[in-house]
Structure 1
Amino acid sequence: MSNLPPNVHVSSHPCLVGKLSQLRSSSTPARDVKALINDITLILGTEALATAVSVVPGPTDQTPLGFEYKTSTVEPETISLVPILRSGLGMVEAIQTLLPTPVPVHHLGLFREPSTLLPVEYYNNLPNHLSGSGSHGAQASRLAIILDPVIATGGTCAAAINALREWGAQRVLVLSVLGALPGVKAAASEWPEGVQIWLAGLDEELTDKGMLKPGMGDVGDRLFLTIGK
C-alpha cells in the first residue's frame, strides 16, 4: 500500500489472508480463534523474522553418523518477546516455535482508558526498566518483539515502543494480526528508525469507541471467553 510508512509491512500471503477472513467471523468459536491467531502469527513471524534476524556461523558439531558440520545460529544474540496483556499471549507460542533457541518473555500490561482511549500501563516486568536503577538498559535485548493482535488507535503500541526504547532495546519489531490505518501510522511514526511493523491485515477506519471496522472484535475477550463481562 503506497500510503503506508516505509517501516510498515502488510502480508499478502494467501493462506494468511484466508485465515484472517475466518478469524473475523463472529461464528468462529474460541478454540478456533486461538488456533487461527497462532497460525497467522506463525506465517507473519516467518516473513518478519526473515528480515529482522540473520544467520551466523557457529562451532563445529557432529551428525549421528559421525560427520562434522558447521552449525548455524541467528543474530542478534539477544532477542526478547514482549506480549501485550492479555491478547498478546495468544501469539507467544508461534514465535517461540520459530526461533531456534529459547528467548526471554517480558510482559507488558496496557489498557485503553475508556473515555479518553489513552493507554494506561498497569504491569511492566522488563528487567531494570526503572530509571535510576543503576543498571538502566544493562539487560536490554538488541531486538525486542512486541506481540499484540490489534493496533487500533496506535496509543498502546506507541506506549510499548517507548517503554522498550527507554529500556534500551536497539530495535523493535511489532507483530500484529490486524491494524487500523490511522493507528498504524501513529505507531510507526513513534520511532521510525528503530521500529518495523508487520501486519496480517489492515482496516481503514475505527468506530467512535476505538474499535476496528470491520475488525474482528475484542481478541482478548474471544480468546479467554470473557465476552459480555
Structure 2
Amino acid sequence: MQVQEILRTNSIANKFISQLRDVNIQKDRMRFRRNIERLGEIMSYELSKELNYQDNKVQTPLGESTISNPTNEVVICSILRAGLPLHQGILNYFDDAENSFISAYRHHPNNDEKFEILVEYLASPSLEGKTLILADPMLATGRSFCNVLKALETMGKPAKIHLVSVIGSLEGIEYLKKEFPENSKLWIATIDKELDSNGYIVPGLGDAGDLCYGGKMQH
C-alpha cells in the first residue's frame, strides 16, 4: 500500500489541521465539520490525478474544445458517524459517485481498555470493477478500515482502493500495509507517531465523532 501524506508540503491544509487540533476552536462543531470537509476536498483533488482520463469534445458558444475527463466509476464509502463530513468533502468533488455507508465502532465487552471493532450496518452498491474510496477521518489502530474492507467483500471486487483519512498513527498505517492490497493507496493529511493505552492517536485531536456531532451514551 502506498501512502501520500499531504502535510509533507506546506499548504492551506496546515491551517485546517491546526484548527481541528485546537481545543478552543473545536468547540465550534460547525467549523470542525467544515474543516474535515475541506480536507476531504483537498485530498480528493490530489487523488483525482491518479484516475483514468479520456478526451471529450465540448461545444462552447464560440467553438469546440477538447478536454480529458475521468472515466472511473467511483464509489465513496464512509464509516459512520465521524466519516460523514469527510464523505461530503469527497462527494463535493466526485459529485457523480455512487455512495456506500457502513457503521464501525469500538465495543468494550469487559468495560476495560480492550476493545473489538463491530460492523453492524451496511448499505452499498456493487463494487465490482469500480474505484472504491474508503473515508474515515481518524486512522488509529487501522482495524476499522480492515473490518470494513472485509464486510464489503460481498459487494464485489473493486479495481482500485483509495483510503482517505485526516490524522493517522504510524502503527495503524503499518497494520494497513499488511492487510490491504499492494495497489491500494492511503491519502492522509498528517501522521502522528503514537497511540495511547486506549488506542487513541497522540497528539491527535480527540474523538472526531463527538466533536462533529456531540457526545454519545455508552452501551
Q: Is the shorter-chain TM-score for this pair beyond 0.5, marking a shared fold? A: yes
Aligned pairs for 1:65-76 within 5 A: 65=62, 67-76=63-72
Contact 1:148–1:176 (8 Å) recurs in 2: yes
Q: What is residue 95 of structure 1 aligned with on the other side? A: 90
Contact 1:113–1:119 (8 Å) recurs in 2: yes
Q: What is residue 59 of structure 2 aligned with on the other side? A: 62
Q: What is residue 176 of structure 2 aligned with on the other side? A: 187
Q: Is 2:39 the counterpart of 1:44?
A: no
Q: What is residue 188 of structure 2 aligned with on the other side? A: 199
Q: What is the CA-CA distance between 1:159 and the residue it aligns to? A: 1.5
Q: Is 2:141 the counterpart of 1:153?
A: yes
CA distance in 2, matches of 1:197, 1:165: 19
Q: What is residue 76 of structure 2 aligned with on the other side? A: 81
Q: Decide which of 24, 27, 48 is 1:27's aligned counterpart.
A: 24
Identity of aligned residues (%): 24
Aligned length: 209
Q: What is the CA-CA distance between 1:31 and the residue it aligns to? A: 1.4
Q: What is the CA-CA distance between 1:91 and the residue it aligns to? A: 1.0
Deviations 1:67-108 (A, max 9, x none): 1233532022x1100010001111122212222x51111001
Contact 2:161–2:184 (8 Å) recurs in 1: yes
Letter of the structure 2 residue corresponding to residue 217 of structure 1: G
Q: TM-score, normalised by structure 1?
A: 0.83
Aligned pairs for 1:118-157 within 5 A: 118-127=116-125, 140-157=128-145
Q: What is residue 107 of structure 1 aligned with on the other side? A: 101
Letter of the structure 1 residue corresponding to residue 18 of structure 2: S
Q: What is the CA-CA distance between 1:202 and the residue it aligns to? A: 0.7
Deviations 1:183-211 (A, max 9, x none): 11111221232321111011111111111
Q: What is the CA-CA distance between 1:166 and the residue it aligns to? A: 4.8
Letter of the structure 1 residue corresponding to residue 81 of structure 2: R
Q: What is the CA-CA distance between 1:17 and the residue it aligns to? A: 2.1
Q: Do the aligned partners of residues 118 and 227 (structure 1) sit closer, same or farther apart at CA in structure 2, a change above 3 Å counting?
A: closer
CA distance in 2, matches of 1:144, 1:50: 15
CA distance in 2, matches of 1:227, 1:33: 17
Poorly superposed stretches of 4+, deviation over 3 Å? 163-166
Instruction: Give the aligned CA root-mean-square deviation in angstroms.
Output: 2.0
Unaligned 5+ residue runs, structure 1? 1-5, 128-136
Letter of the structure 1 residue corresponding to residue 121 of structure 2: Y
CA distance in 1, matches of 2:115, 2:3: 23
Unaligned 5+ residue runs, structure 2? none
Q: What is the CA-CA distance between 1:119 and the residue it aligns to? A: 1.4
Deviations 1:39-71 (A, max 9, x none): 1121122122212x132113x331123x12335
CA distance in 2, matches of 1:31, 1:8: 29
Q: TM-score, normalised by structure 2?
A: 0.87
Secondary structure at 1:107 match in 2: strand
